[in-house]
Amino acid sequence: MFRHIFSYRFKKLLRTKEMIFWTLAFPILLSIFFHMAFQNLDAAETFQTIPTGVLADEAYEDHAFLKEVLLEVSKGSTPLLQVFEGSQEELARLLEEGTIRGYLTAGDPISLTVRGTGMSENILRLFLEELNEQAHVMKTVQEKDPASVPRLLTAIEESSALLVEKEKDTAAPSQILNYFYSLIAMACMYGAFFGSDEITDIEAHISSRAARIQVAPLHKLKAFLSSSLASYVVLMINTSLLLLFLRFVLGIDFGPRVGYLILTTFMGTFTGLTFGAFISTLVKKNENMKSAVIVAVTMAGSFLSGMMYAPMKYIVYDKAPVVFYLNPVNLITDSFFSLYYYSSFTRYAQNMGMLLLLSILFSLGSYTQLRRRRYASI
Amino acid sequence: MIIEVSHLKKRYGSLLAVDDLSFSVEKGEVFGLLGPNGSGKTTAINCMLSLLSYESGDIKIFGKEMRPDAYDIKKDIGVVMQNVAIFPELSVYENIDYFCGLYITDKKTRKTLVEEAIAFTGLHDFRKFLPRKLSGGLLRRLNIACGIAHKPKLIFLDEPTVAVDPQSRNKILEGILALRDRGSTIVYTSHYMEEVETICSRILILDKGKAVATGTKEQLKAMISLGMKITFDAQDLTREQLQGLEALPGITEVQQKGSVISLKSKEENGSLERILAYLKDQNIAYNNIHSEMPTLNDVFLEITGKELRD
Amino acid sequence: MQVFKVSFKVLKRNAASLLIYVGIFLGLSILFASNSSEQEQGYTSFEPIKVPITVFVEEDTPLVQGLLTHLKKSAVLLPLEDTTNQIGDALYFRVTTYVLRIPEGFTEAFLQGAALSLEKETLPDAVTSIYQDLAIERYFHTARLYQEAFEDLEEEELVQLTLETLGQETPITLTREASQRPSSYTRFYFNYMSYSLVSILVLGTSIVMLLWKEEGLYQRTEISPLKRSSIHLQKFLALGVFALLAFFLLSGAYFFLHPQATWDQQTKLHILNAFFLTVTSLGMSFFIGTLLKSRNAITAVSNVVALGPSFISGVFVPQQFLGEGVLAIAKLTPTYYYVTANERIAAMGDTLDASIWPLMGMLLLFGLVFYVLSFYLGRKETKTIWKG
């Protein structure tokens, strides 16, 4: 009997195209969008030359250092700045129009005028601060001991970076991995639609098919479990395909603990499945409502775990830790993340434990409905 | 007795859907539950199948108490529900095989049974079709096949011919009689009295959850005073002539609607001759004279004052 | 007008589902807008918020003390237990954002002019670590310059000179408009609408479109004397009313939740842009609803169509970080034009940036194309058998 129900359920599921789309094609499509969007995030290639002005007054003419620096940074194929010299009125106008992001006024120190506080303006500010510092050093050395100036100039040429990122034995995931983890988690949670359908097909007050099954000589729960297992297998196949796609087509490296990653995915799928079943036992017949609740909770959960905006995860942890620990999407993504960030498994085990607990709670919730063999009305 | 229902009571909120219903069904019968929409037929069936909880009453099937976990009883029951209850993603063959498989676990036996069910319902040309490609009548046939493939001893059919073309309907009715001939007991609900009259051996008439009459066709018709109905077309009858018709022995009612005159008689025989004699005597030209035995609708009408079909 | 009335009635009946959606997406919009703008302030304002960092010093020298003094200008020094686990946890939960370690013997080696390196530990997606990097590098760079220039300088004097240099203010003038500029909350809020509005509209559209595809109802309306184009138009009108309601709700919520908002030129333009977005998104959902048959298919496609383009058009990851190739693809979606117009409106001063008009024009053009396609499809509508 088990094999009979399982195999027919499996057959039926493979023929429902929309379901397959939801749990397979949608995450894959989205991952392609992510991949496109993030390709440049890690690379430093996104820099664009900043158009800047400089006030062409007497002070500027006398400021050899500034002139030389500006010349240097305007050179090359992707220079830091593109410099416009002009009068006060000209520069003010260019700034207002947005043609230049800011302009420098020579002096001691050199000052900056800007119209906003965006990235470009900040870069100008930092650039100028360094410039002023260097000018100050030169002035100080000049004043204290002019003979030291040549040594200073040599030193300026030789500058090198000091800081080095610490090496760790666990790979620190790149920025974009968190987005993909959220995507996988979202895919797991779409198992909720499968779970919801399982309930529809076993509860006689939701569908007539279920009534047929309930008048047959078999135990309702056994039928439900056999059927749900088929759903779960289909889901596992789908999420595995997603993982394979991410790994081998998009080339995303999940690091060394892949086995645990897969385990998490399976656990997360189970949580999604039980969640959907539970919602279905609550809402019963209204398909629109079921769909709305599942999508809303899943998307909100994805958002709060940082899918659309990575820092969201930490904000939730800071301001609403309960949500952090109860949001299944977050638990899944956090499991992934802690696999790679920590060498010990404590945090990972905690998350998995919470997922299991949630699954059990959802299952119990569904059970209170499933248990009943007779209905008040159908 | 195959089925024994005693004092069944079922409420939906404040509505008493089944009110102290008692009846029994014997082996080999085609037992009809007849009543207008909302009279409690489906509710009664669902209670009998242990799908619905009920306030009070006893239900015994095959002499044993019927419960949701009475699998020994359930394996010999077949159900054809009012709604078409099948999987849209599975073909005709697969649907029948699936539901049959909930009863018959042996693959070989089942294969034979499914083939027989397909032949029985005339679905052979459609075995690989998906439900969305079937017409209403064919879907109903599929619905039936799914319910009876395992050759159950007791079959419940709840309004199986709703929205079905006449050809399919006849086939279905024939099929039901064939099932009876195979040895099954049938419980058949409908609000189409013609069907019930045709195939049912015993009938229970339901109204608002209460049994209003039970018996064979003949017994039911004998319950009412109506013996025969006669109608004919005639023009320009005078009031005296109408009264004269009504005065004839056995005639209980005369009605005139336009040119159609209808009469009701207590007696089954003799009224027609008297009427014809009267018309001849009065030199009334008539057309389309027609006599009819009382129908179950008449039974229902007389007992409850309402029509079976509103 | 029967089709219109019934469509609208059905929407009302499904109000609960719609409100859940609206509630959730509105909530997400607000969270997104307020947090994004806060974070953006963190790295774009000229008075950076002091972030917590941790420095483990294994020696106490004037050089090191000088560094700490310098760092305190832009950060808060947070003490931590020096164990791998504690550090790991602290970084993970942003209790601290940067960990620096100065080993014993560093100062001496530095003063002798050796080539050195310092170990830092950060999380890659903490944007503010760049400021710490700079602060540290500049400190030591300046110190190095002085040390190389003046060959025998006392450590204390070296530190003093360094701090003096680093203490130099760079005067920055913000022009009038800049200091008056509204926070980026507005910009993010309206950007996010490209996702939330589409999602809400799609739910409403699928409810209405699926209603009329149900076999019995479909057949009944087909055989009625109503013209097919009229049926189509009425459904569309019902959804139009719904879309307007959604638009007013989301726009109104903006004012309600952002009390500092004023009805100035920029806000008006943002709202206008959002209105055009509503119009176009309605066209898009209507097109999808006409084309597809089942609820799950409609919801699935719409979610991709809402979320995907939002990502590549710069709603979640700002446009300036997206590559040319990505933006080229984004230009094929209406979302790109909406977001770009939004960004330019947000950056406008008193003068109107005329480049927003062609952008809004493109946005509407997409909408027009969707309408035309859906009406054309509607006339050739194929029926589906929906047998329960």
Is the same domain home to B186 and B261? no
| Contact (Cβ atoms closer than 8 angstroms) between residue B18 and residue A342 | no
Distance from CA of C20 to the nearest CA of B (A): 29
Residue, of B310 and C72, whose pLDDT is higher: C72
Dihedral pair phi/psi, residue B91, rounded to 5°? -75, 175
The residue in chain A having the minimum alpha-carbon distance to the alpha carbon of residue B73 is A217
Please check whether residue B307 lies inside any domain of the structure: no
Q: Using CA atoms, how far apart are residues C21 and B125, in angstroms rounded to an integer? A: 47
Least confidently predicted of B51-55, C91-95, C266-270 = C91-95
DSSP labels for A356-370?
HHHHHHHHHHHHHHH
Is the same domain home to B200 and B264? no
Is the same domain home to B42 and B121? yes
pLDDT (0 to 100) of residue B96:
95
**Touching subunits for chain B (3+ Cβ pairs under 8 A):** A, C
Contact C172 A311 (CB under 8 A): no
Is the same domain home to B243 and B192? no
Contact A29 C304 (CB under 8 A): yes
pLDDT (0 to 100) of residue C380:
65
Specify the domain boundaries for CATH 3.40.190 within chain C.
47-171
Contact A37 C165 (CB under 8 A): no
Q: Using CA atoms, how far apart are residues A73 and A62, in angstroms rounded to an integer? A: 19
How big is the CA angle at A167 (ends A165 and A171), to the nearest 5 degrees?
A: 110
Residue, of B115 and A309, whose pLDDT is higher: B115
The residue in chain B having the minimum alpha-carbon distance to the alpha carbon of residue C215 is B132
Q: Inform me whether the C-beta atom of residue A288 falls under 8 Å from chain C C-beta atoms.
A: yes
Q: Using CA atoms, how far apart are residues B107 and B100, in angstroms rounded to an integer? A: 10
Domain boundary, last residue among B199, B222, B245? B222
Q: Using CA atoms, how far apart are residues C295 and C380, in angstroms rounded to an integer? A: 20
Determine the average pLDDT of the residues in B114-131: 92
**Touching subunits for chain C (3+ Cβ pairs under 8 A):** A, B
pLDDT over threshold 90, residue B142: yes
| Contact (Cβ atoms closer than 8 angstroms) between residue B221 and residue B293 | yes
| Contact (Cβ atoms closer than 8 angstroms) between residue C237 and residue C183 | no
Considering CB atoms only, which of C35, C46, C149 is closest to A312?
A: C35
pLDDT band at A7 (very low <50, low <70, confident <90, very high): very high
What is the rounded end-to-end Cα distance, in angstroms, of chain C?
A: 27
The residue in chain C having the minimum alpha-carbon distance to the alpha carbon of residue B84 is C388
Please check whether residue B299 lies inside any domain of the structure: no
Q: Give strand pairing partners of B231.
A: B262, B290
Please check whether residue B308 lies inside any domain of the structure: no
SS3 content of chain A, % helix, strand, coil (to 5): 70, 5, 25
> What domains can be seen in chain A, in order of their start residue?
2-40+174-370 (no CATH), 50-153 (3.40.190.10)
| Contact (Cβ atoms closer than 8 angstroms) between residue B196 and residue B187 | no
Distance from CA of B218 to the nearest CA of A (A): 34
Name the interface residues of A facing B (CB cutoff 8 Å).
1, 4-5, 8, 11-12, 15-16, 204, 207-209, 211-220, 223, 373-378
pLDDT band at A171 (very low <50, low <70, confident <90, very high): low
Distance from CA of A277 to the nearest CA of B (A): 19
Q: What is the pLDDT of residues C243-258, one digit of tens each?
A: 999 899 888 888 887 7
Give the SS3 label for residue B5. strand
Is the same domain home to B150 and B246? no
Determine the average pLDDT of the residues in A65-88: 82
The residue in chain B having the minimum alpha-carbon distance to the alpha carbon of residue A11 is B90
Determine the average pLDDT of the residues in C7-12: 84
The residue in chain A having the minimum alpha-carbon distance to the alpha carbon of residue C302 is A26
Where are any strands of DSSP class E within chain B?
Answer: 3-12, 15-25, 30-34, 56-61, 64-65, 77-80, 154-158, 185-190, 202-207, 210-215, 228-234, 251-257, 260-265, 286-292
Contact A30 C307 (CB under 8 A): yes
Expressed as residue numbers, the domain containing B245 is 225-293
Dihedral pair phi/psi, residue A113, rounded to 5°? -120, 130
Q: Using CA atoms, how far apart are residues B115 and B124, in angstroms rounded to an integer? A: 8
pLDDT over threshold 90, residue A157: no
Residue, of B186 and A68, whose pLDDT is higher: B186
**Nearest CA-CA partner of A104 in A160, A54, A141, A175:** A54
Q: Inform me whether the C-beta atom of residue A113 falls under 8 Å from chain C C-beta atoms.
A: yes
Distance from CA of B21 to the nearest CA of C (A): 32
Residue B83 with chain A: CB contacts under 8 Å: 208
Is the same domain home to B31 and B150? yes
Considering CB atoms only, which of A212, A217, A220 is closest to B81?
A: A212
The residue in chain C having the minimum alpha-carbon distance to the alpha carbon of residue B136 is C387
Q: Inform me whether the C-beta atom of residue A88 falls under 8 Å from chain C C-beta atoms.
A: no
Contact B84 C385 (CB under 8 A): no
pTM (whole model) above 0.95: no
**Structure-derived torsion over alpha carbons of residues B53, B58, B59, B65, reported in degrees to the nearest 10:** 100
Instruction: Report the CATH number that the domain containing residue B243 is assigned in CATH.
Output: 3.30.70.980
pLDDT over threshold 80, residue A365: yes
Q: How many A-B residue pairs are in contact by the CB < 8 A criterion?
A: 83
Is the same domain home to B266 and B209? no
Q: Inform me whether the C-beta atom of residue A10 falls under 8 Å from chain C C-beta atoms.
A: no
Is the same domain home to B285 and B166? no
Q: Give strand pairing partners of B77.
A: B154
Least confidently predicted of B83-97, C210-224, C283-297 = C210-224
Q: Inform me whether the C-beta atom of residue A300 falls under 8 Å from chain C C-beta atoms.
A: yes
| Structural domain total, chain B | 2
Residue B139 with chain C: CB contacts under 8 Å: 387
Joined together, the tokens standing for residue A122 give 């900040």
Is the same domain home to B204 and B271? no
Is the same domain home to B133 and B101? yes
Determine the average pLDDT of the residues in C133-138: 84
Is the same domain home to B232 and B217? no
Mutate to test the interface with A, among B18, B46, B59 (most CBs of A within 10 A): B46
Instruction: Give every CB contact of residue C173 below 8 A, 6+ residues apart in sequence.
Output: A111, A112, A113, A114
**Nearest CA-CA partner of A125 in C76, C128, C47:** C47
Joined together, the tokens standing for residue C41 give 């302030």
pLDDT (0 to 100) of residue C386:
43
Where are any strands of DSSP class E within chain C?
Answer: 51-57, 75-77, 98-102, 118-122, 172-174
- Sequence letter at residue C223: I
pLDDT over threshold 50, residue C387: no
| Contact (Cβ atoms closer than 8 angstroms) between residue A8 and residue B94 | yes
pLDDT over threshold 80, residue A165: no
Give the SS3 label for residue B156. strand
The residue in chain A having the minimum alpha-carbon distance to the alpha carbon of residue C36 is A309
Interface of A with C in 234-253 (CB under 8 A): none
pLDDT band at C388 (very low <50, low <70, confident <90, very high): very low
Give the SS3 label for residue A113. strand
Percentage of residues of chain C with pLDDT beyond 70: 89
**Nearest CA-CA partner of B220 in B136, B279, B297, B145:** B297
| Contact (Cβ atoms closer than 8 angstroms) between residue A120 and residue C184 | no
Please check whether residue B304 lies inside any domain of the structure: no
**Nearest CA-CA partner of C14 in B200, A286, A127, A170:** A286
- Sequence letter at residue A325: Y
pLDDT (0 to 100) of residue C349:
67
Locus of tokens 């040119």: B259
> Is the CATH number of domain C47-171 3.40.50?
no
Instruction: Report the CATH number that the domain containing residue B167 is assigned in CATH.
Output: 3.40.50.300
Q: Inform me whether the C-beta atom of residue C259 falls under 8 Å from chain B C-beta atoms.
A: no
Contact A173 C124 (CB under 8 A): yes
Q: What is the pLDDT of residues A285-306, one digit of tens each?
A: 788 788 888 888 888 888 888 7
Interface of C with A in 216-235 (CB under 8 A): none
Q: What is the pLDDT of residues C314-364, one digit of tens each?
A: 888 777 777 777 788 888 899 999 999 988 888 776 677 788 888 899 999
